[in-house]
Structure 1
Amino acid sequence: MFAAFPLLALPVLIYNLLALTVGGGFSSDAASYRFGEQLFRIHMASRVDWIVSWGDLLLGASLIVLFVELLKSTTSRKVAIVNHSLSMVLFIVCLVELLLLPAFATSVFFLITLMVLLDVLAGFIVTIVAARRDVDFGEMR
């Protein structure tokens, strides 16, 4: 049953927890500030500092999760259909949050929503292509 769970729900859940529980209210400015805060800095060979924020870290982790989701979408088991359906529900939830809640009107959440959409599209496209390959039409005359 764990295979049916869309893993991109984890970054969405983390964003929800950080955006709605940490002080600063539910405004877009407070969320943008919160996700833009410096987490750490790395001194680069070019003698400049690379500043990594909470939003950068969340987006990087989301990209890794998206890669795993894309690998999961290549399976043709029945549980993949449930995964695609739950991913569609997750996309609808993300879209509603993005459009209606001020704390979610940030670039970080928009990019996470875009990743969820790509997961939905890739899952359905891979399933359709795999189903077309499995169907044998016989000899055409």
Structure 2
Amino acid sequence: MFIVGFPLLIVPFAIYNIVAFLLRGFDWTAPLLQVSMISQATFALTWGDALIVVGLVFLFLEIVKATRMSRRSVVDHVLSLLLFIAMLVEFLLVREAATATFFLLLAITFVDVIAGFVVSLRTAQRDVSFETVARGED
């Protein structure tokens, strides 16, 4: 399958960076969608909120991918860890990444790294079976 071995969370990371660096001054808190609710309240979805939702969808797909055991899954976990490290460095060093939206994407990537390793370890434990050999009487 194509998506195995490729960290999907690089997509919202790339979208954030493309928007942040090509559209200087972009406001992640600007409303994308406003809906009047039955309660007469107004629900406002911001651009940053929408990107977080995209990140959560990709997190779900990453966790589903982690349930498959193969050599590619090890590469996928390593790439996810490298993506997390790159995002952490960018968050700490780059002014455009110092937003709540980027921080939440960083947290989603952290959950992906931890969940990927935990799911893989649990799956590997179920795959291991031990056989006992009966010793013959001497």
Give the structure-1-normalised TM-score: 0.87
Unaligned runs of 5+ in 1: 25-30
2:37 pairs with 1:36? no
Corresponding residue for residue 119 of structure 1:
112
Percent identity between the aligned chains? 39
Deviations 1:87-125 (A, max 9, x none): 011001100011111111111111101111111111111
Of structures 1 and 2, the larger Rg is shown by: 2
Give the structure-2-normalised TM-score: 0.89
Corresponding residue for residue 90 of structure 1:
83
In 2, Cα distance between equivalents of 1:70 and 1:2: 12
Unaligned runs of 5+ in 2: 134-138
Q: Which amino acid aligns with 2:14?
A: L
Alignment of 1:1-141 (within 5 A): 1-24=2-25, 34-139=27-132
In 2, Cα distance between equivalents of 1:73 and 1:135: 17
Residue 139 of structure 1 and its aligned partner are, at CA, apart by 3.9
In 2, Cα distance between equivalents of 1:102 and 1:139: 60
User: How many pairs align?
Assistant: 132
In 2, Cα distance between equivalents of 1:139 and 1:102: 60
Runs of 4+ displaced beyond 4 Å: none
Deviations 1:24-59 (A, max 9, x none): 3xxxxxx6xx10011121111111211111001101
